[in-house]
Amino acid sequence: MSTVATVSNETFNTHVSVLVVGAGAAGLCAALAAKEEGVEAVVVERDAVPSGSTALSAGLVPAAGTRLQQAKGIADSPQLFAADIQRKAKGEADPAVVEAVAQGAAPLVEWLADRYGLPFEVVDNFNYPGHSAMRMHGLPSRTGQELIDRLRNAAEANDIVILTRSIVDRLLADPDGRIRGVEVVHGDGAREYIGCDALILACNGFGGNPELVRRYIPEMADALYFGHAGNRGDAVTWGDALGAQLSHLGAYQGHGSVATPHNILISWAVIMQGGVQINCEGRRFCDETRGYSEQAAEVLRQPGGFVWNVFDGRIAAVARQFEDFREAERAGAVITAETITDLAEAMHVPTTAFAAEWNEVEKLKSTGGHDRYGREFLASQTCKPPYYAVKVTGALFHTQGGLAIDTDGRVKHKDGTKFPNLFAAGGAAAGVSGPIAAGYLSGNGLLTATVLGQLAGKAAAKLIPGFGTLCSGRDGI
């Protein structure tokens, strides 16, 4: 069990300026930003090759007002983006942090593109629920694997040391919360005490810790965890021991569309383009377009804990931009049929009930209108044969609660004052989704990982002796 210890009887083997725990998107953006300020940054990563949940994601970063959007004539602004985040979070996200990430996202995307050559594109052929503009920025493969690989290459090209196969086991701190360093266990079992001037926790949340999930998010205690197994909630455990403020621990990113039993993400584009979800009784059960996060628990509540995504060939063509969908097709997770009757048979759902639901939806599309759950259908979403279906379940992707921070990623004490040299970003910090799963707006995960990573890296660099000073203790702000 990871804990926090004071340093009185510890000897540091070495000392670095900015130490980062975790080499996901948050940690690597933080290290790049610190290094750019002329400060040494070292990242400690438990895996042999950095991947994290970042590699499992679609790598889509939402940003408002980028030149990539402007080139495509997409009108957007950080204000509109911030309003979308708060609308989804029912106004319960920290307004200052929302403002910081909404303002910082466009500069972040352009920074990664211009300085480190990440070839971002705007996804402009479908939109995610709750976004008022097309603002998802993705790499050509639309994979998080490409994002993490490109970030790692950028870090290596800039001489940032990543200590791999090394787990931070304990934080070493003074009684007032000033971090002195960390205790690391390397892959060969050797222990090392690394001192630092500033520490950035970028080790994501507690999705990989069943005990913490059961305690804080009981509705997902038995759900498939689809994130990185190494995210064991160390930031929350350490923060708790240090007396940090923990916020919105019940919040999470779920997803109601993971192909089962194949365990492959099926893009929510299949729903947003006009597809629906049908349970094993052949029935729809809610407005699927509210959001994929809250849909995870909704799907798990259906008989058997699974449902079917049903759509057509036009929608499948949109989904095929994602490698995951192509993989699902290769794995045989996607079934097709020329008629709804044949599809119902292949899905083993009652034909009459399913056909009635399907016909009602298609009629609503042609006339334009809302269904009994309030979902709006458009004529452009009409489906034609052949029809497609994928059996899916609900999964936990990552936790959104964590250490309360300021707009520099600086961790707060319970009384709202700040730790002198402790930062958190990405899944380690409290996100901008409010207290529950329904507050998660698509992209909030990588938004807070990348933007807060960059902001924390910059702010941590400023603490390094000789750089100039930010503070020398609890500043009471």
Ligand X SMILES: Cc1cc2nc3c(=O)[nH]c(=O)nc-3n(C[C@H](O)[C@H](O)[C@H](O)COP(=O)(O)OP(=O)(O)OC[C@H]3O[C@@H](n4cnc5c(N)ncnc54)[C@H](O)[C@@H]3O)c2cc1C
Contacts to ligand X by CB under 6 A: 21-27, 44-47, 50, 52-54, 56-58, 60, 144, 167-168, 202-204, 226-228, 230-231, 234, 253, 265, 397-398, 426-427, 443, 445-447, 449
Closest CB to ligand X among 63 and 464?
63
Closest CB to ligand X among 108 and 265?
265
Min separation Cβ 389 and ligand X, Å:
21
> Tokens 């009471």 map to which residue?
476
C-alpha 328, offset from chain centre: 21
E strand segments, 139-231: 161-163, 166-173, 179-186, 191-201, 224-225
Contact 97, 424 (CB under 8 A): no
Q: Give the number of C-alpha atoms closer than 13 A to the C-alpha of residue 463, restricted to the C-beta side.
A: 27
Min separation Cβ 366 and ligand X, Å:
32
Q: Is there a cis peptide before residue 95, judged by omega within 30 degrees of 0?
A: no
Closest CB to ligand X among 354 and 397?
397
Min separation Cβ 355 and ligand X, Å:
33
Closest CB to ligand X among 231 and 302?
231
Contact 217, 396 (CB under 8 A): yes
Burial class (CB in 10 A: 0-12, 13-18, 19+), 234: buried
Closest CB to ligand X among 235 and 343?
235
Min separation Cβ 365 and ligand X, Å:
27
3-state SS, 116-155, equals: HCCCCEECCCCCCCCCCCCCEEECCCCCHHHHHHHHHHHH
Min separation Cβ 356 and ligand X, Å:
34
Identify which of 115, 8, 118 has the alpha carbon closest to the alpha carbon of residue 61: 118
Min separation Cβ 35 and ligand X, Å:
17
Tokens at 90, concatenated: 């029912």
Min separation Cβ 165 and ligand X, Å:
10
Closest CB to ligand X among 1 and 71?
1
Min separation Cβ 156 and ligand X, Å:
16
Min separation Cβ 152 and ligand X, Å:
11
Closest CB to ligand X among 60 and 220?
60
> Tokens 């383009």 map to which residue?
273
Show Cβ contacts of residue 363 under 8 Å, excluding neighbours closer than 6 positions: none
| 391, β-bridge pairs | 308
Closest CB to ligand X among 231 and 321?
231
In the chain, the amino acid numbered 460 is A
C-alpha 452, offset from chain centre: 13
Closest CB to ligand X among 56 and 349?
56
Burial class (CB in 10 A: 0-12, 13-18, 19+), 218: exposed
Min separation Cβ 172 and ligand X, Å:
14
Task: Provide φ and ψ at 389, rounded to 5°.
Answer: -150, 145
Q: Which residue lies nearest ligand X, judged by its C-beta?
A: 24
**What is d(CA 172, CA 183) in angstroms, rounded to the nearest whole number?**
7
**What is d(CA 391, CA 385) in angstroms, rounded to the nearest whole number?**
19
C-alpha 466, offset from chain centre: 35
Closest CB to ligand X among 53 and 273?
53
Identify which of 168, 150, 140 has the alpha carbon closest to the alpha carbon of residue 32: 150
Min separation Cβ 465 and ligand X, Å:
26
- In this structure, the number of other CB atoms found within 10 A of the CB of residue 73 comes to 7
Closest CB to ligand X among 192 and 281?
192
